[in-house]
Structure 1
Amino acid sequence: MKKNVLIYSILALVLILGACSNKADSTGGSVSDGEAVGGYGSIDHGVENGGKVGFNMLGGSIEEATNVPAAEKELIMKSFDTYMHAFNNQDIDEYMSVLSKNPKSFTIEEERDYIEGVFKEYELGREASDVTVVKFDEDANEAQVFANLYTTMKQKSTGLETKRDGRQVTVFSKEDGEWKVTSVYYMEDQK
C-alpha cells in the first residue's frame, strides 16, 4: 500500500502540469506538459494576465486566427507536429530542436536534463486533436496553437499507467525563419 501511495504521489507530481490549479501564482513545469519540474519550466499554469494567451483555457469555442498567411500556418503546424513527434518517439535531439533559444519560462539546460529523465523513466504517448492557430502576431513573430491533448504515461519500472486529457496552448516565436516553442499553457480536464 505504501508503495502504491508513493507511486501515485510521484505520478501526481509528474503530471502536475495537467493537474495544476487555476491560481495565477502557480509555478511552471516542462514543455513536455504532463511532467513537472521544480523551479522554472516552460508550462505556465493558470494563465496569468501577462501571458495574453489567445484562447480561454476554461473552454468555449475554438476560433482560428484569420490573419495567418498560408505559408506561415504551414510552418507553424510543421513545428507543432515535430514537437509532438519528438515527444512520442522520445527523441531528445528532435525535441530540443523545436525549443526556442530564448524561452520565456524555462531554461534549455534544465529542460534537457529533465526531459532526458522523463524519457528514461516513462513510456509516453500523446495525441492531439482540434489543432488550431488561435492567435498570430506577425509584428511580434508570435503564434499560439491550441490543441486538445490525450496523454498516456507508463512508468517503466512499475508498469503503472495513467491517462490525462487536457487543453493546451503552445506559444511559438519565429527564430531564424523557424517557429520554436517558447512556453506552453496546459489545463487538465477535470472528470
Structure 2
Amino acid sequence: MKKKLAVASMALVLVLGACGNADETNQNNPETGEPAPGSGAIDHGVDENKVGFSMSGDKVEEATDVPKEDKEEILAAFDNYIETLNNQDVEGYLTTLSTKGYDLEEERQATEEMLENSTMKRETDHETIVKYSGDSAQLFSTLKTTFTDIETEVENTHEGRQVTVFNKEDGAWKVFSIHFIGDEPVKE
C-alpha cells in the first residue's frame, strides 16, 4: 500500500508540476528552505516576465484588460482541462496542452500510469484571470485534488492554489504550464 501511495504522490507531482521554464521558477534559500524575498505566492506582484498573482487582503486581483470573448474562451479551456482528467479522458486531456510547453508522449505515459492505479477528481474554485496579453494568459484558481486508489479505495487529497499559464496556439487556448502551491494540511 505504501508503494501505491508513493505512486499517487509521484503522479501528483507529474500532473501538477508541469513543464515550466526554469527561469520562471522561484528558488528557496538553500540554507533555510525559506522562500527568497519577493518569491512568496501572496507577497509578490505580477511581473511582465514571471508567473504570479497579487492579492489585496484575501482577494486575488483580476486582470482588467481581458476582452469578453477571450475571457470566455480561457475559462472554457480551463474547464475542459480539468474535466478531461476527471473523466479519465487521456486523449481529451492531451488536446488541452500546448505542444510548446509539454512533451505530449511523456505526458501521455505519466497520465496513463497514474490512471492505471488510481482515479483522480479535481475541484476548482475562484477561477480568476490575473494576467493577460493577446496570446497568453494566467489563470489563478484554488484546487482540491483527490486521488483514490482503485484497489484499496484509499483517498489522498491535496489542496492548494494554482496558476495555469495559457498560450493561444492556432486560435485555441492551450495549457502551457502550471504552477501549484500546496496548502498545509489542516490539523484536527
Give the TM-score range, shorter chain: 0.7 to 0.9
CA distance in 2 between counterparts of 1:61 and 1:99 reads 28
* CA deviation profile, 1:92-143 (whole Å, cap 9, x unmatched): 111011111211xx311100111111122211111100001010022xx110
Q: Which runs of 5+ in 2 are unaligned?
A: 27-46
Residue aligning to 1:133: 129
CA distance in 1 between counterparts of 2:121 and 2:110 reads 17
**The residue matched to 2:61 in structure 1 has which SS?**
coil
Residue aligning to 1:144: 138
Residue aligning to 1:187: 181
Residue aligning to 1:86: 84
Q: 1:24-173 counterparts in 2 under 5 A?
A: 29=14, 32-33=15-16, 41-42=18-19, 48=25, 52-55=50-53, 61-103=59-101, 106-138=102-134, 141-173=135-167
**The residue matched to 2:88 in structure 1 has which SS?**
coil
**Cα distance change on mapping 1:91 and 1:159 into 2, 3 Å:** same
**Cα distance change on mapping 1:5 and 1:158 into 2, 3 Å:** same
The amino acid of 1:74's aligned partner reads E
- Report the TM-score, using the length of structure 1 for normalisation: 0.76
CA distance in 1 between counterparts of 2:109 and 2:123 reads 24
CA contact (8 A) 1:99 1:181 kept: yes
- Report the TM-score, using the length of structure 2 for normalisation: 0.77
* CA deviation profile, 1:138-163 (whole Å, cap 9, x unmatched): 2xx11001110011111112322111
Between structure 1 and structure 2, the one with the greater Rg is 2
Residue aligning to 1:26: none
CA distance in 2 between counterparts of 1:102 and 1:9 reads 29
Count of matched residue pairs: 163
CA distance in 1 between counterparts of 2:131 and 2:66 reads 8
Q: Which runs of 5+ in 1 are unaligned?
A: 18-28
CA contact (8 A) 2:7 2:114 kept: no
CA distance in 2 between counterparts of 1:42 and 1:65 reads 24
**The residue matched to 1:170 in structure 2 has which SS?**
strand
CA distance in 1 between counterparts of 2:93 and 2:149 reads 20
CA distance in 2 between counterparts of 1:86 and 1:124 reads 11
Specify which of 158, 168, 179 is matched with residue 174 of structure 1.
168
**Cα distance change on mapping 1:10 and 1:112 into 2, 3 Å:** closer
The amino acid of 1:14's aligned partner reads A
Q: CA RMSD in A?
A: 2.6
Moved over 6 A (4+): none
**The residue matched to 2:106 in structure 1 has which SS?**
helix
The amino acid of 1:189's aligned partner reads D
